[in-house]
């Protein structure tokens, strides 16, 4: 429900709340503290960040109840609870996903991974490109592809029942009847009868799999303490599941089809070697918007 802030009236000034919450979050080590403060205020008011910024300039104020709620959320954020868990929503490209405990929160850097899969799907001459998203989590990749390539038909696979439940909510909201969500293990894709008919017919296979080495605990509390371990770790070098996906994808992707994988910034070379050894062609690693290696692509 949208609340109506006052301009120049009684209540707590938005500018004061922005400064107060921003300083609190900076002290807690949060890098984008001002942005988070704007998002917290916007969440309670039901308005955009841009509207919050405008209200601060226009001497807008909010009710005491709204101000109290904003401070409560800020206290949780200062304890490094992910902002997306507190608002229940995570923007991703042109959609907004439902997220919470039990599912990996989609990151901005994954938006560039989606772009490679979207571009590959758009290049497919078939009137209905077939796309498979493995380790779909919240459904971010599958749903952004379906949303931006309306002629695509997308299948998404998730192993975790908790994450699958979040993905189902997002498919119901954004899938438009073109995304099939499957509960299943990437290591046993042959056990999913819904995928059997797609074997050798997939145009694009994309995945943001677990890729953190088992002995490398993430520094950020939001990741370490709140993202599910199943979505993070994958063997000593972090590549166990990527090896499985590489071999499995050879059975599902048609000749000339594309493989798109997200990974950590230092894993590109090792992944290209894995893919080349399995028989993939034209392996290439691409940087994200921060200039770090993030996506490796290959052709069947």
Residue 151 binned pLDDT confidence (cut-offs 50, 70, 90): very high
The stretch 256-269 carries a mean pLDDT of 96
How much is the pLDDT for 112?
96
Residue 294 binned pLDDT confidence (cut-offs 50, 70, 90): very high
How much is the pLDDT for 227?
72
**What is the DSSP code string of 188-209?**
GGGG-HHHHTTTTTEEEEEE--
Specify the 3-state DSSP secondary structure of 264. Answer: coil
Residue 198 binned pLDDT confidence (cut-offs 50, 70, 90): very high
- Residue 187 tokens read as 């290591």
C-alpha dist (Å) from residue 63 to 7, 104, 215, 221:
11, 34, 48, 32
pTM given for the model: 0.86
| Cα(130)–Cα(180) distance, integer angstroms | 11
User: 130 pLDDT exceeds 70?
Assistant: yes
| Cα(174)–Cα(72) distance, integer angstroms | 30
Beta strands in 22-152 (DSSP E): 60-62, 89-92, 95-98, 130-134
User: 3 pLDDT exceeds 70?
Assistant: no
Q: In sequence order, which residues have a C-beta less than 8 Å from that of residue 44 and are 6 or more positions away?
A: 3, 62, 66, 69, 70, 73
- Residue 125 tokens read as 């001459």
Give the closest residue to 243 by CA, choosing from 267, 227, 266, 224.
Answer: 267
| Cα(186)–Cα(70) distance, integer angstroms | 41
Residue position matching structure tokens 């758009």? 122
Burial tier of 150 (Cβ tally within 10 Å: 0-12, 13-18, 19+)? exposed
User: 133 pLDDT exceeds 70?
Assistant: yes
Residue position matching structure tokens 């200062």? 78
How much is the pLDDT for 120?
98
The stretch 261-284 carries a mean pLDDT of 97
| Cα(93)–Cα(84) distance, integer angstroms | 15
* Each residue's pLDDT tens digit, 91-101: 999 999 999 99
The stretch 195-214 carries a mean pLDDT of 94
pLDDT, the chain, mean: 92
């Amino acid at each position: 429900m949208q609340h109506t802030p006052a301009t120049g009236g009684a209540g707590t000034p938005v500018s004061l709340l922005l400064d107060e919450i921003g300083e609190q979050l900076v002290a807690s080590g949060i890098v984008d503290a001002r942005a988070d403060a704007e998002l917290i205020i916007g969440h309670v008011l039901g308005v955009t960040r841009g509207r919050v910024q405008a209200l601060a300039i226009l001497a807008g104020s909010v009710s005491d109840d709204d101000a109290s709620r904003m401070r409560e959320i800020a206290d949780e954020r200062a304890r490094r609870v992910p902002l997306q868990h507190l608002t229940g929503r995570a923007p991703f490209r042109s959609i907004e996903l439902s997220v919470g405990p039990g599912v990996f929160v989609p990151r901005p850097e994954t938006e560039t991974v989606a772009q490679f899969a979207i571009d590959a799907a758009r290049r497919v001459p078939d009137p209905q490109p077939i796309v498979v998203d493995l380790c779909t989590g919240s459904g971010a990749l599958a749903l952004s592809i379906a949303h931006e390539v309306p002629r695509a038909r997308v299948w998404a696979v998730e192993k975790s029942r908790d994450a699958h439940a979040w993905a189902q909510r997002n498919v119901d909201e954004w899938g438009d009847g073109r995304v099939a969500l499957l509960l299943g293990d990437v290591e046993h894709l042959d056990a999913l009868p819904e995928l059997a008919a797609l074997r050798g017919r997939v145009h694009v296979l994309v995945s943001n799999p677990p890729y953190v080495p088992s002995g490398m605990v993430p520094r950020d509390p939001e990741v370490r303490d709140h993202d599910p371990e199943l979505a993070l770790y994958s063997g000593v070098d972090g590549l166990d599941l990527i090896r499985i996906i590489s071999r499995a994808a050879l059975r599902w992707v048609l000749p000339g089809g594309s493989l798109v994988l997200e990974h950590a910034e230092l894993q590109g070379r090792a992944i290209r070697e894995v893919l080349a050894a399995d028989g993939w062609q034209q392996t290439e690693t691409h940087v994200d918007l921060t200039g770090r290696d993030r996506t490796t692509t290959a052709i069947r």
